[in-house]
Structure 1
Amino acid sequence: MVLALVFSLLSTAAFAQTGVIRGTILTKNNRPAKNVVVKLNGSQEKEVDSLGRYEFQALAAKSYEIRAKHISFASQVTTINLKEGETRILDFILQEDKNTIQEVLVSAKKPIVEHQLSNSLRVQVPILELSQNVQTINSEAIAKQQAFNLSDGIYRNISGVSRQTHWNDMYVNIHMRGSQIQAFRNGMNIVSSYWSPLSEDMATVEKIEFVKGPAGFMMSSGDPAGIYNVVTKKPSGTEHAEVTMSLGSFENYRSTLDLDGKLSQDEKLLYRLNIAGSSKASFRANEDNKRLVIAPVLSYRLNTKTLATFEYTYQKARMTDVGSAYVMSPEGFGSLPRETTFTQKGTEPFNVDEHSTFLTVEHQLSSAWKLTAQGSFFSYNQTGASSWPQDIFPDGKVIRKSDIWDAKSTMVLAQAFLNGNFRTSAIEHHILAGIDLGSKDYIADWNQSIVLDSLNGGQFDPKNPVYGFDFGPQSFDRSLSLQERAARGGGSMNTKYSSLYVQDQMGFFDNSLRLTLAARYTSMAVGTWGGTPVKNEKITPRIGLSYSIDKNTAVYGLLDQSFLPQQGILFDGSKVKPITGNNYELGIKREWFGGKWNSTLALYQITKNNEITSYGPDPKMSVEVGQKRIRGIEFDIRGEITKGLNLIANYAYTDGKVSKVNEGADQFFVGQVLDGADKHIANLWLDYEIIHGRARGLAFQLGGYSNMDRATEYYSQEFKDRNIEDYFRLDAGMGYRTEKFSINLNVQNLLDKYLIDGGSYYTDYFTTPVYSWQAGAPRNYRLSFSYKF
């Protein structure tokens, strides 16, 4: 009733019926044109969106001159005599301007500011107009900061984001707003277990989008903290080739190849091919890590309205048994030298083969409506072992062991969604509706161990390490199939879901006021640790309001919900309910200096209810924790300060605590800080390139990243007042860039500090309680050479 009343009042207050001019601008190969400015009568102007669309509203009946302009295309001008209340469609097909194209190739620099979401995030409205905090890292920033893998820390360019490091660089485990967030690739949720997916190689990545809080337009079944979406590289229609060679500390070698071009003279069939190979050791002994990535993409334009894109990515990883970064001691965080490792050479290596495919079909039903359908298949196979102590004693000596970790995962995912816009009276409607389907299966054997040290005086001493085996050669038993071994040890997880959603973003007063009403219905069955799947279904609403104070400034408010089924048996006999989460958010966004900068300030509160944990008296039973509450402030700013000088800066304050504890949840207490909820996270990155004179192309970089009042995971109330020291890492670099060649040197941890990464904790699991942590790398460098041809 309240929503209906709001809608009625806004409809009544809207202007009377007025005229509209809209259209789509395509290149000569029928692809959406980008960065095109459309001018109306030489004054009012708009930039096309990611689909090449533009629209002018609330126009009086008279004659209008419409000009489409881009520096690398010949301008086109058309005059329209618009009648009262008329909607006119005016499309353009641009042709290259031979007089300006050479200038563009020499001088163009890709900005670090993004104004549009990728197509895979479905909501095709400018970021400024979206009633939610969404931040993006594009390929320009990724390249300049020399991030090779998603685990390298590129996420630090987003406020409040950190990594709870685990299993080296196999998995990323990104945290934001007090929880681990869901991993998406090209708009599809690719999480099949607690640890997946295999971290992406940056050679295949065009941009990474962070959606803060629940996103009903993407999902409602997950943690309310949000998601990150990795957008892979696609064919651009422009002939391009680039090779990069890199080397660095700790025997770090890497090569990449990026090919982009046309396979047919009519430019209907395009391709993109990215290949990356790397090999590295570590500042710790006995570690090696090799990766291979092959990622071909084909894009075919069936006609002027339909585009099909097929992607295949193969990732091969081979490394020392994972867990080699963990060290443990009863004497406190950082009490062992940072190069300390418990890992022993000769244990079984860790091997992963991952195959993934995407088929995406986009069909432009009309200038105002577009249908997108996408299917994906993932196959993941893993054999190997993980390191973990068998026991630790009061003197700090360790009995080491190696645990088997064979795993297999398959995922079949599908989605279809419709984007469109129309007007009713003076109200502009941006419609999104769709369906999501998915089936995920994960099985693993982690139920065999090989002890490396003897119980009788042969313990490993991390203060005086002597590497070797106390026992003869041993191997894991793989005589049974993985399916049988997984069933024997409860090593299976599976998820099946279907979801329907609809959203209407309504624009009032020439789209200066935007009201978003949406709802998603989700049916999901989740099975964990070999248990019978638990099915839940729920409708989650979404309400957003955004108002443009002027064309560069918008304020917004949001209420969004999520839920997540969970499995267990409550000790009191009641039914296990899904975790539910509510997100309340207020924010202000602004674009500065013609869109060269943008900034976002957001305040939020998330509450999580019904989460269960083990019940102390009977570990087979569960109990509801109570409630968790996360409050925070986030600020992001990025852009070009002056010619050649780019800035990325952010800050986040996070107050994530247990706010209510139910009887029986003895390991929790009111006020307990949530794992991963570091109170203060700040980042600053500057890149300056000289653009005039003899030193033109010379570039300098400086960046600092800090976490303060850090939150740790712990399993004892005795540890509630013990925290890790604050984290601060300073990086610097310099390089030389031309339109074809670049060389870049980055030095990380310039101050050579002993850094303790996230994911550290205190536990009384062993004979003596211990601190567990992972040390960050000492001062190290990366040097890259790139050539475009």
Structure 2
Amino acid sequence: MVFSLFPRPPGRRRAHALGGSTILAAGLLAGAVQAQETTIALDTISVAANAGGPLQPDVLGRSVDAIGLIGPTPGFRSDRAVSSTKTNTRQLDVPQVVTVVPRELITDVNATRVDRAFDYVPGLTQTNNFGGLGTFAYAIRGVTTAEIYRNGLAANRGGPPPLIDTQNIERIEVLKGAGGALFGRSDPGGLVNIITKQPTATRFVEMGGLWGSFEQFRGTVDSGGALNDEKTLLYRFNFAGGSQNSYRDFVGDDRLFVAPVLSWQVTPDTKLTVEAAITRNSVIVDRGVVAVNKQLGFVPISRFLGEPGQPTHQTDEVLQVRLDHRFNADWQMRLAAQFNTGTLNGESAEGRGLLSDNRTVIRDRNYRDYSYDSAIGQAELVGRFRTGDVGHTLLLGFDRENFDNRQLYLRSNFNTFPYGIDIYNPRYGQPLPPLTRASNTLESVTDTGFYAQDLIDLAPQWKALAGVRFDLFERSFKQRVVGTSAEQTRAAASPRAGLVYQPIPEISLYANVSTSFRPNIGTDAGLGAQSRPFEPETGLGYEAGAKVELYGGALVLTGAAFRIDRQNVLTADPNNSGFQIAAGGVRSQGFEFTAAGQLTPELRLIGGYTFTDAFITKDNVLPVGAPLLNIPEHSGTMLAVYEVQSGPLRGLGVGGGVRAAGERAGDSSNSGFKLPAYVVADGLAYYKYENFRFSLNVENVFDTAYYVGSVSQFRVDTGSPRRITGAMLVRF
């Protein structure tokens, strides 16, 4: 089946091109809905599929009831997460913090894109959305990264990630601190691992509709069940389609998303899972607003400074195949492969500077035609055994990744053809300047990694973690316009170690040290270095903290102090727009507190506070001590939801959230331009009755004007004004 989105004529108000597709898909499933014999309550579906019946406890005395390494669904309580160790281990037993965004939270805030779900992750700051094309970069603990994984496999190798839809997401795990010992080349602040919805033996169909401000419409389908009487062949199917305008003039997007999953329990100990995801987006590139004399607020946040009617089209197709096998209660393995291909093409006008009249933005015309392909293979073995009185959970792994990234990027010369636009009285539809600057690159990367990890039960109160990964990285880069090329081969080891002390079962005190390795790759790196690539970035992180379980484990509190040092860090070249330079050394240090869980059967919450001091420690261009772009010293979030559990109002939920960030550097040139601090409040209410759920959300209740991130004074992303959405879910 092939889906496509077509450009529409320019104009601020646009028809809902996908509405018909959504309604048609819903209608096709109506027969399946009518075939159900029982009503399934909205909160009774579990996606953690078991591999046959439970086995006897393993050699360490732990119950083993599943062979999948993706792990269970934690909910707001999030006492378990797989991203820190790739094993099913309690968070209190691991010397690292993982913040979990559960499916329940995604539903509570009506998040349709993954970046909206990020809003309530303490310590995570959004930095660059690539003109609205996707979650291109975010920062964890003051370290900007673009690392996103899907079920433990890299989701954005070779190209910018598309607008990641939340429809098939079961939960999002945000790993704090370096993950290089398991995931390979990455950034030491942390990474995001998306866990997708899996097949279930319970047969159901869930249909949803969402309507909101700025002409937003969205339809969804989530269905699953058994395909045979033995319930060894299970499926899950997710669909989402929608269209919306924006508070930004002439800006909007269309999206179509399909994600089928099929699992086959070959034997009680062997399971094969095949999973796909197809995404189609049509988006207007929007680089935000400009600052005048380093001050924001001179133009309304609705002012669009590009050109109407210039959509960029994205395609992304993913296929994952996983084979899980359990040898016995103590040993299991997983073989996994992922194939990913995608494209991005379209035209846009993007701001590059402001003339001395403080009202004319000079722009360039941009045409992009990108395509990428990647293939990842992975094999992992997990075993539990004892050496005397010491228990071990051993992970051995191997992975190999290949990707090709092709980028044709044409631009006009804004010095010769300014293509200017008045920020106070914009005139669109000017003659297009010629595309005189060309870049046509081919980048090929191969990365081979071997890793080992041991979780050690030293004594009832003491646990240790030791791990190391070895990477062999090979890269070929060609600039076909001028005929230049660059080759690099790098080998690196990424060790980590940690210690946990539990004076009582509900409290863990921990410390860890970890390293990271990330080659400086990409078009800008290759062009900026001309004949040779930049040296790879390396990182070293220290962390110490405490984790506490309260109310029988229903509420988990964490506190951590951290310090991260990085070398050979790239940053935007202040004298050459679109290129990068090596900034030298940077440091990020601070502390954070988080809380997540179910205080009572009625009240659940998630939130925290982070203090981050991120600055340059060594540089040939910028002064030592200069703050890092988009990183606030103070930031915090809190979301609380109360749901009535009994009586005539049973199923009624109300909640609210607060998102806050302090003042941040607005560009990388240490010019003194700052993004102002903000505090934004959100509200929500819903009512569940049998198999129906009705909800109403108000984002930015007090209509606060704020700015979420920037690339420079001439590209500042605005936060949404008050947005109201209503949604309905029905499950059969």
Q: TM-score, normalised by structure 1?
A: 0.79
Aligned to 1:69: none
Matched, 1:563 2:513: no
- For residues 631-670 of structure 1, the aligned pairs below 5 Å read 631-661=589-619, 665-666=620-621, 668-670=622-624
Aligned to 2:323: 361
CA 1:312–1:169 in structure 2 vs 1: closer, same or farther (change >3 Å)? same
Aligned to 1:427: 390
Deviates more, 1:676-685 or 1:246-255: 676-685
What percent of counterpart residues are identical?
25
Per-residue CA deviations over 1:631-676 (Å, capped at 9, x if unaligned) read 1101110112223111112110111111223xxx22x111011123
8 Å CA contact 1:263–1:271 kept in 2: the answer is yes
- For residues 474-553 of structure 1, the aligned pairs below 5 Å read 489-510=439-460, 512-527=461-476, 530=479, 531-553=485-507
CA 1:91–1:289 in structure 2 vs 1: closer, same or farther (change >3 Å)? closer
Aligned to 1:737: 688
Aligned to 2:21: none
CA 1:570–1:302 in structure 2 vs 1: closer, same or farther (change >3 Å)? closer
8 Å CA contact 2:257–2:278 kept in 1: the answer is yes
- For residues 7-22 of structure 1, the aligned pairs below 5 Å read none
Equivalent-residue separation in structure 1 for 2:540 and 2:271 (angstroms): 38
Per-residue CA deviations over 1:70-122 (Å, capped at 9, x if unaligned) read xxxxxxxxxxxxxxxxx9x99889xxxxxxxxxxxxxxx98411222248962
CA-CA distance at 1:780 after TM superposition? 1.3
Q: Secondary structure at the match of 2:107?
A: helix
Matched, 1:192 2:192: no
Matched, 1:436 2:388: no
8 Å CA contact 2:51–2:65 kept in 1: the answer is no
CA-CA distance at 1:739 after TM superposition? 3.8
Equivalent-residue separation in structure 1 for 2:489 and 2:270 (angstroms): 38
- For residues 175-214 of structure 1, the aligned pairs below 5 Å read 175-181=139-145, 182-193=147-158, 196-214=160-178
Equivalent-residue separation in structure 2 for 1:621 and 1:393 (angstroms): 21
Matched, 1:31 2:43: no
Q: TM-score, normalised by structure 2?
A: 0.85
Aligned to 2:228: 264
Per-residue CA deviations over 1:365-416 (Å, capped at 9, x if unaligned) read 1110001010000010122123313653222123444310110010101111
- For residues 773-784 of structure 1, the aligned pairs below 5 Å read 773-784=716-727
Aligned to 1:398: 361
CA 1:365–1:337 in structure 2 vs 1: closer, same or farther (change >3 Å)? same
Equivalent-residue separation in structure 2 for 1:249 and 1:617 (angstroms): 40
Per-residue CA deviations over 1:251-296 (Å, capped at 9, x if unaligned) read 0000110001011111110000000001000112212210000000
Equivalent-residue separation in structure 2 for 1:417 and 1:228 (angstroms): 20
Equivalent-residue separation in structure 2 for 1:619 and 1:384 (angstroms): 20
Q: Secondary structure at the match of 2:115?
A: helix
CA 1:52–1:150 in structure 2 vs 1: closer, same or farther (change >3 Å)? farther
Per-residue CA deviations over 1:546-603 (Å, capped at 9, x if unaligned) read 12221111111111111122367999x9995422111111111111111211111111
Q: Secondary structure at the match of 1:143?
A: helix
CA 1:569–1:332 in structure 2 vs 1: closer, same or farther (change >3 Å)? closer
Equivalent-residue separation in structure 2 for 1:342 and 1:447 (angstroms): 19
CA-CA distance at 1:175 after TM superposition? 1.2
8 Å CA contact 2:272–2:323 kept in 1: the answer is yes
CA-CA distance at 1:784 after TM superposition? 0.4
- For residues 294-333 of structure 1, the aligned pairs below 5 Å read 294-320=258-284, 322-327=285-290, 329-330=292-293, 332-333=295-296
Aligned to 2:194: 230
Equivalent-residue separation in structure 2 for 1:471 and 1:150 (angstroms): 37
8 Å CA contact 2:79–2:91 kept in 1: the answer is yes
Equivalent residue letter for 2:499 = L
Residue 422 of structure 2, aligned match among 448, 451, 461: 461
Equivalent-residue separation in structure 1 for 2:658 and 2:80 (angstroms): 27
Aligned to 2:337: 375
CA 1:691–1:615 in structure 2 vs 1: closer, same or farther (change >3 Å)? closer
| Structure having greater relative contact order (Cα 8 Å, sep ≥ 6) | 2
Q: Secondary structure at the match of 1:465?
A: coil
8 Å CA contact 2:518–2:536 kept in 1: the answer is yes
Residue 336 of structure 1, aligned match among 285, 299, 317: 299
> What number of residue pairs does the alignment pair up?
667
Q: Secondary structure at the match of 2:486?
A: coil
CA-CA distance at 1:52 after TM superposition? 7.6
Matched, 1:683 2:641: no
Equivalent-residue separation in structure 2 for 1:646 and 1:192 (angstroms): 36
Per-residue CA deviations over 1:706-739 (Å, capped at 9, x if unaligned) read 0013232232x4x23x422102111112121134
Per-residue CA deviations over 1:43-67 (Å, capped at 9, x if unaligned) read xxxxxxxx9885586xxxxxxxxxx
Aligned to 1:725: 676
Equivalent-residue separation in structure 2 for 1:569 and 1:346 (angstroms): 31
Aligned to 2:704: 753
CA RMSD in angstroms, aligned pairs only: 3.2
Aligned to 1:582: 540
Equivalent-residue separation in structure 2 for 1:622 and 1:343 (angstroms): 24
Q: Secondary structure at the match of 2:665?
A: coil
8 Å CA contact 1:568–1:622 kept in 2: the answer is no
Aligned to 2:36: none
Where does the alignment leave 5 or more consecutive residues of structure 1 unmatched? 1-26, 35-50, 58-86, 94-108, 478-484, 763-770
CA 1:405–1:615 in structure 2 vs 1: closer, same or farther (change >3 Å)? closer
CA 1:739–1:52 in structure 2 vs 1: closer, same or farther (change >3 Å)? farther
8 Å CA contact 1:166–1:759 kept in 2: the answer is no
Equivalent residue letter for 1:189 = A
CA 1:453–1:581 in structure 2 vs 1: closer, same or farther (change >3 Å)? closer
8 Å CA contact 2:569–2:582 kept in 1: the answer is yes
Equivalent-residue separation in structure 2 for 1:647 and 1:282 (angstroms): 30
Aligned to 1:21: none
8 Å CA contact 1:389–1:399 kept in 2: the answer is yes
- For residues 48-127 of structure 1, the aligned pairs below 5 Å read 54=57, 111-118=75-82, 122-127=86-91
Equivalent-residue separation in structure 2 for 1:699 and 1:613 (angstroms): 45
8 Å CA contact 1:286–1:343 kept in 2: the answer is no
CA 1:336–1:269 in structure 2 vs 1: closer, same or farther (change >3 Å)? same
Q: Secondary structure at the match of 1:389?
A: strand
8 Å CA contact 1:377–1:413 kept in 2: the answer is yes
Deviates more, 1:735-744 or 1:425-434: 735-744
Where does the alignment leave 5 or more consecutive residues of structure 2 unmatched? 1-45, 67-72, 480-484
8 Å CA contact 1:324–1:387 kept in 2: the answer is no
Equivalent residue letter for 1:505 = L
Equivalent residue letter for 1:627 = G
Deviates more, 1:685-694 or 1:262-271: 685-694
CA-CA distance at 1:614 after TM superposition? 8.8
Deviates more, 1:630-639 or 1:219-228: 219-228
Equivalent-residue separation in structure 2 for 1:324 and 1:618 (angstroms): 18
Equivalent-residue separation in structure 2 for 1:651 and 1:243 (angstroms): 36
Aligned to 2:124: 161
CA-CA distance at 1:126 after TM superposition? 1.4
Matched, 1:596 2:543: no
CA-CA distance at 1:449 after TM superposition? 3.9
